[in-house]
């Protein structure tokens, strides 16, 4: 069990007991799913039944489910594979449109393509709460559709919890014949995700964000999508993702997806109540804290139910994180560190948050195992933690 109050479910969730039991049961059985003997056929049956279960849960066809080692690999396969596949059809298609608030698992492969494969990357702007600017997307495609390989806009932002207008993105892009990928790793199990109904051409999900194991995920991809392989070998997964399939992890992943989706409505109501109590409590404990992302009080459907993201003026996020950790409360800054130097979140910067304010960010994310006691522990520790972090910021010269 994780000690203390764990408020970092957006980073990883505890495995559910059902998923863990499924993993252990399969791990005790031999068999490579590519082998033709009885053990191999048994492993293959588990894989295909898991594929069917995941497809049913998220509105896809089983043949559209491609297993990967997780969300990062699935995003890389979507961005690189779709770019290369589209460019093979038409060498003019070198533009890749991604929202400015994407996870680095989307941004980094896109910029790698710019540096190594002649891609032109367009960062779509977002508004002050982190939602993509549809007018900017529409204008760019109107001018450059013939040169555009793909659009990638995440279903839900991992830092500020903003839900993106995915169906509107699809509607605009498809008017110009441009395929759309969405990273939905934060969304599945918290909000309704239906691959077919959304109209997206490719969708990323992963196990450890919804009660499954680390190291397994999937890319949902339409059968007619021109997708080039990123890694090569045995030709598994429609020939675009070679590698021996991790049968125990895939089985546990399927159990977790089915459970998370099946319990979604009850879980969302539970998380929303906890999130609202957390937001109200933080505002009382630290009145100058600023809630970032959509305001759930104004539009409950605009934000993930388990996400609350604040900036604390005059305090460094890292200081807040370490002080909370010492008090038994685990959260996240939601920002990256490069070469040991804390950097403000690219998500907050894209939203127009000044760099000094962006440095004081903390993300609190709730999950299936979260309780009112977790929120109470945070609220009890927060006033002293914020005061100490702000004092440290003053001593260091007010850089926060």
pLDDT band at 400 (very low <50, low <70, confident <90, very high): very low
Q: Which sequence positions are flagged as catalytic? A: 337
Q: Which residues contact 370 (CB under 8 A, 6 or more apart)?
A: 6, 7, 9, 270, 271, 274, 306
Comparing C-alpha atoms, which of 152, 153, 109, 103 is closest to residue 347?
Answer: 103
Strand partners, 203: 182, 220
- Residue 2 token pair: 């994780």
Is the dihedral angle over the CA atoms 147, 152, 153, 155 positive or is it negative?
positive
- The pTM score is 0.95
Place of tokens 């998380």: 271
pLDDT of the residue at 393: 75
At 3 the pLDDT is 61
Rounded mean pLDDT of 98-106? 98
pLDDT at 395: 55
pLDDT tens-digit series, residues 211-255: 999 999 999 999 999 999 999 999 999 999 999 999 999 999 999
Domain residue spans of the chain = 17-261, 264-395
Q: What share of the chain in percent tops pLDDT 70? A: 96
Residue-level pLDDT at 342: 66
From the list 235, 231, 227, 229, the residue with the least C-alpha distance to 89 is 227
C-alpha 236/C-alpha 306 separation (Å) is: 36
Q: Half-sphere exposure of 264 toward its Cβ, with a 13 Å CA cutoff?
A: 18
**Mean per-residue pLDDT, 9-30:** 97
Q: Which fold has domain 17-261?
A: 3.40.640
Other beta carbons within 10 Å of 76: 21
Write down the pLDDT at residue 338: 41
Task: Write the pLDDT tens digit of every residue in 120-175.
Answer: 999 999 999 999 999 999 999 999 999 999 999 999 999 999 999 999 999 999 99
pLDDT digits (tens, 9 = 90+) for 345-396: 999 999 999 999 999 999 999 999 999 999 999 999 999 999 999 998 775 6
Residue 264 has pLDDT above 90, yes or no: yes
Indicate whether 340 pLDDT > 90: no
Name residues whose C-beta falls within 8 Å of residue 293's C-beta, 6 or more positions apart in sequence.
129, 130, 157, 159, 160, 161, 162, 303, 307, 309
Contacts 24+ apart (CB under 8 A), 59-65: 59/193, 59/194, 59/195, 59/196, 59/197, 59/198, 60/195, 60/196, 60/203, 60/220, 61/196, 61/223, 63/223, 63/238, 64/195, 64/220, 64/221, 64/222, 64/223, 65/218, 65/220
Q: What is d(CA 392, CA 386) in angstroms, rounded to the nearest whole number?
A: 10
What is the average pLDDT across 284-293?
Answer: 97
- Terminal C-alpha separation, the chain: 34
Closest CA to 150 of 216, 82, 215: 82
What's the average model confidence in pLDDT over 3-18? 94
Residues 250/110, Cβ–Cβ less than 8 Å: no
Two structure tokens written together for 250: 């895939």
Q: Phi/psi at 173 (nearest 5 deg)?
A: -65, -40
Question: Under CATH, what is the fold of the domain 264-395?
Answer: 3.90.1150
Nearest to 93, CA basis, from 137, 149, 142, 175: 149
């Amino acid at each position: 069990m994780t000690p203390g109050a764990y408020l970092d479910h957006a980073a990883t969730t505890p495995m559910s007991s059902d998923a863990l039991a499924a993993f252990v049961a399969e791990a005790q059985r031999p068999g490579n799913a590519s082998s033709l003997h009885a053990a191999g056929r048994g492993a293959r049956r588990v894989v295909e039944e898991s594929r069917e279960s995941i497809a049913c849960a998220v509105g896809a066809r089983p043949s559209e489910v491609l297993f990967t080692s997780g969300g990062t690999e699935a995003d890389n396969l979507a961005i690189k594979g779709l770019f290369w596949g589209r460019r093979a059809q038409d060498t003019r298609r070198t533009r890749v449109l991604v929202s400015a608030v994407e996870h680095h698992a989307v941004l980094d492969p896109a910029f790698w393509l710019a540096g190594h494969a002649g891609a032109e990357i367009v960062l779509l702007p977002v508004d002050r709460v982190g939602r993509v600017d549809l007018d900017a997307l529409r204008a760019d495609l109107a001018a450059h559709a013939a040169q555009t390989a793909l659009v990638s806009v995440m279903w839900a932002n991992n830092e500020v919890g903003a839900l993106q207008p995915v169906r509107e993105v699809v509607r605009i892009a498809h008017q110009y014949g441009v395929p759309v990928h969405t990273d939905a790793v934060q969304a599945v199990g918290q909000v309704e995700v239906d691959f077919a109904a959304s109209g997206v051409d490719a969708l990323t999900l992963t196990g450890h964000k919804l009660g499954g194991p680390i190291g397994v995920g999937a890319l949902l991809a339409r059968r007619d999508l021109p997708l080039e392989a990123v890694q090569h070998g045995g030709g598994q997964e429609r020939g675009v993702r070679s590698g021996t399939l991790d049968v125990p992890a895939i089985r546990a992943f399927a159990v977790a997806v089915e459970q998370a989706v099946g319990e979604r409505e009850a879980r969302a109501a539970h998380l929303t109540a906890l999130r609202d109590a957390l937001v109200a409590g933080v505002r009382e404990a630290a009145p100058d804290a600023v809630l970032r992302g959509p305001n759930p009080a104004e539009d409950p459907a605009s934000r993930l139910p388990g996400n609350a993201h604040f900036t604390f003026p005059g305090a460094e996020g890292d200081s807040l994180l370490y002080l909370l950790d010492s008090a038994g409360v685990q959260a996240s800054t939601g920002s990256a560190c490069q070469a040991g130097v804390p950097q403000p979140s690219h998500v907050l910067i894209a939203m127009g948050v000044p760099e000094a304010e962006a440095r004081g960010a903390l993300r609190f994310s709730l999950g299936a195992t979260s309780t009112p006691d977790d929120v109470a522990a945070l609220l009890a520790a927060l006033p002293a933690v914020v005061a100490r972090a702000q004092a440290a910021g003053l001593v260091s010269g007010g850089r926060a």
